[in-house]
Amino acid sequence: MYLKNAMRTWIALLRGINVVGRKQVPMKALAAALERAGFRSVRTYIQSGNVVFQSRSGTARTLGARISRLVLEEFGFEPRVMVISGAELAAAIRGNPFPAAHENHKLVHLYFLAETPKEPDLESLAQLDAGRERFALKGGVFYLYTPDGFADSVLQSRVERCLGVAATARNWRTANELLRMLD
């Protein structure tokens, strides 16, 4: 049973921070700012903008907007922030169609989407000469298998354009570590 004012645990995925010396957000400072703003049990994972936190109120969308504004106030820029529930993260991990992720966490990336694409152009992605790369779209998660490396992926830079929605990617290890942090 869901209680209206019960503390809920969420995962915030900040996009495009701490990349090549740009849009710097120290995780310790971010956690402190979130706690000052009323979020509880704030924990971060690595420097790429992964935050597990608790809140009594808000939806994924309103919490993401609130965190984005807070980053603007504290650090001077406004990143896209995707907020997902623990259940959504667990379902995304269970739904992974690429078992190679268990052998090498860098081979599979999960793109968490701002919304389920209404008219994704998967045909354009499929027509690209992507070598051994593979992909799958399941609801609000796009899975990308890159056996030759994510940085060299032909598909990774075209995902948002072809899906028509904003997204942020995390590798298999990060997704699983965030799930462990929920316990």
Domains and CATH numbers, the chain: 8-85 (3.30.70.1280), 95-181 (3.30.70)
Weakly modelled stretches of the chain, pLDDT under 50: 1
The predicted pLDDT at position 114 comes to 94
The predicted pLDDT at position 3 comes to 59
pTM: 0.92
Alpha-helical (H) ranges within 57-147 are 60-75, 86-94, 122-127
Which tokens hold the place of 93? 């991990």
The predicted pLDDT at position 4 comes to 63
Query: What are 33-42's pLDDT values in tens digits?
Result: 999 999 999 9
